[in-house]
Amino acid sequence: MMFRIGTPTSPHGDLVFGGFIFDWSWHENAGMQGLNAFIDGEVEIRNIRFEGIHSLGTHGNMRVATATSDSVALIESIDMSGGGLHFRDTINTRTTRRYGGDTDELDFGQSWSTTGMTGHPNQQGTTIFRNVISGPWPDNAIYVRGGTGRKIVSNCVAWNGGGCQIRTNGGNDWEPVGWLDGTEDKEEALNGEYPGSVVENSRCIVEKKPEGVYVTPRGLLLQDGPQTVRNCEIEIGYAEGGGAGGTYGLGTRGEEGDAPAGPAVFENCTITLHERTDAVYVSPYSNTIELRDIDINTVGWESGLDRLVGGQGADRLENVIVNTA
């Protein structure tokens, strides 16, 4: 990696970082992790562009996480339009701890070069990803799931990732941020605009499956913890079946025990399906899932709402409209 600032055992304090161009376009085999930051304090990371395709097969472009419940990081105006290649499609021959001896197995090197923007399993506090643009990556484009803090994904665009375009989770280990929440009181913040993790005003697009992608592409996926998705657009122009293992627009993925998906609210969103697949897929291990003011557009085919909300279905549907074009 080029810049490593803090670690989970020794996080860095306050930080301002930005104004960089990481140029992966100057030759065929270029790309590494530009920034890996683990922060305890107040952080601004802004105005970074990754030029060209990440084609060396190392870890993806950025990993940023906050370390304590009262820390906050703003990651803003990041351009990763070029995306990246899986290391199996590059000169990188390194194996990982998941290596099974067969390069045809999906588990071979899935932890390498798969994701553009990454969170961390120890994340607490509040991380805000604003105006992030991501092109195709072999797995998730914007994968900020991890830990028990609050993640806010706002005004982001991601397309043609092989896993999910945006994937996140929630948690309660965060303290209010005055400039974000308008209060220092946790109870007031829990009744405010960002009471948990939020994905808002963002767009996820799956129009094709690019070369070097090894898993099924999906739109937006929520995992454990309280979350809201609002004012988002999801467009699916390429699908590999439906259901848990297939393509869907919005989805949840829960686990048995202490990590069910949600509770979550999807509201004021538009899902456009050019292929027959699920608009929404709800994992069997999910807390309360509500859909409010959702437009589902099927282009060139027709379906009823009962065929468009798969899995165990939502607990509440309010003003969910299916349109056929």
* pLDDT score at 87: 79
* pLDDT score at 213: 67
Which residue, 31, 17, 150, 139, is CA-closest to 82? Answer: 31
* pLDDT score at 245: 85
* pLDDT score at 103: 47
Find out whether 98 and 110 touch, Cβ atoms under 8 Å: yes
* pLDDT score at 325: 78
**Close Cβ partners of 172 (under 8 Å, ≥ 6 residues apart):** 148, 196, 225, 226
pTM of the model: 0.94
Pairing relationship of beta strands 203-206 and 233-236 according to DSSP bridges: parallel
- The span from the CA of 71 to the CA of 105, in Å, is 39
* pLDDT score at 108: 46
Cβ burial of 187 (10 Å; 0-12, 13-18, 19+) is exposed
- The span from the CA of 276 to the CA of 192, in Å, is 37
Find the angle CA(163)-CA(141)-CA(301) to the nearest 5 degrees: 55
Q: How far apart are the first and last CA of the chain?
A: 47
Which helix (H) or strand (E) segment holds residue 229: the answer is strand 224-230
| pLDDT, tens digit only, all 325 positions of the chain | 899 999 989 999 999 999 999 999 998 899 999 999 999 999 999 999 999 999 988 889 999 999 999 999 999 999 999 999 887 788 887 655 544 444 454 444 444 567 999 999 999 999 999 999 999 998 899 999 999 999 999 999 999 998 899 999 999 999 999 999 999 999 999 999 999 999 999 999 999 876 666 678 999 999 999 999 999 999 999 998 888 889 999 999 998 888 899 999 999 999 999 999 999 999 999 999 999 999 999 999 999 888 899 999 999 999 999 999 7
> 3-class SS at 89?
helix
